[in-house]
């Protein structure tokens, strides 16, 4: 598919499709986010859907439409998965972090920013990111992966899934290159959108210190995951 926004777009066509609008999403404080998570667990429909977390049959689209999830789906999915897998608690037990709360606050602030970066395009949207997050979590339930990967790997993989299409415009790399988009020029036609997604994630942390969870990692872990 050449473009999610304009099916008639063709090679060499320099008429850009209308830029998709970004969803306006709520940005929670840590306290309000924890309260929102508790509300989700008391919602009958959501509670039924959450029984399938960790299974391939989990209905991401239906869950992201639940009131309380729809406005910040990536943030809510991340918080639910982190809670269920006790990722930060395990990192503390292994000595990789000294406290869970400071890192939790920054991760939640970061995920809220990631939520706001996704645009209302037909496929590469926030619901897609949530679906990939759930798929990644399912992979980490296999005995083989658990024997060969760490809790930090699990956490980083969920974050990577969350950001992997951040800011996606709904057009592919071929379109970016042939229309000489700003992203194509910036990244010299090399993995244009992929570079853009990662760059956006680091820029979110650079612009907002409260979202910069990466600087809280030990230097060795930073070098491993860059």
Binding positions for Zn(2+): 128, 164-165
With contact defined as beta carbons under 8 Å apart, do 25 and 71 qualify?
A: yes
The vertex-210 CA angle with 206 and 214, nearest 5°, equals 60
Rounded Cα distance between 209 and 131, Å, is 28
A 10 A CB-CB count for 128 gives 20
A 10 A CB-CB count for 204 gives 21
Rounded Cα distance between 203 and 206, Å, is 5
Rounded Cα distance between 173 and 189, Å, is 8
Binding-site positions: 128, 164-165
Q: Among candidates 89, 94, 85, which has minimal Cα distance to 140?
A: 85
Rounded Cα distance between 205 and 14, Å, is 33
Active-site annotation holder among 23, 32, 124, 168: 124
Rounded Cα distance between 166 and 180, Å, is 20
- How many helices (H) and strands (E) would you count in the chain? 13, 0
With contact defined as beta carbons under 8 Å apart, do 34 and 40 qualify?
A: no
Query: Is residue 154 annotated as a catalytic residue, yes or no?
Result: no
Enzyme catalytic residues: 124
């Amino acid at each position: 598919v050449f473009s999610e926004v304009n099916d008639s777009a063709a090679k060499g066509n320099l008429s850009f499709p209308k830029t998709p609008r970004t969803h306006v999403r709520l940005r929670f404080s840590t306290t309000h986010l924890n309260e929102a998570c508790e509300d989700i667990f008391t919602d009958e429909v959501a509670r039924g859907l959450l029984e399938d977390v960790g299974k391939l049959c989990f209905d991401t689209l239906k869950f992201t439409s639940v009131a309380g999830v729809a406005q910040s789906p990536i943030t809510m999915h991340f918080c639910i998965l982190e809670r269920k897998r006790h990722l930060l608690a395990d990192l503390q037990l292994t000595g990789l972090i000294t406290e869970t709360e400071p890192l939790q606050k920054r991760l939640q602030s970061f995920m809220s920013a990631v939520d706001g970066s996704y645009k209302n395009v037909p496929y590469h949207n926030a619901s897609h990111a949530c679906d990939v997050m759930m798929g990644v979590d399912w992979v980490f339930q296999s005995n083989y992966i658990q024997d060969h990967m760490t809790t930090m790997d699990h956490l980083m993989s969920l974050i990577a899934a969350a950001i992997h299409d951040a800011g996606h415009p709904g057009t592919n790399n071929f379109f970016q290159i042939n229309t000489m988009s700003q992203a194509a020029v910036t990244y010299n036609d090399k993995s244009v959108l992929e570079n853009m997604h990662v760059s956006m994630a680091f820029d979110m942390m650079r612009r907002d210190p409260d979202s910069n969870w990466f600087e809280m990692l030990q230097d060795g872990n930073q070098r491993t995951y860059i």
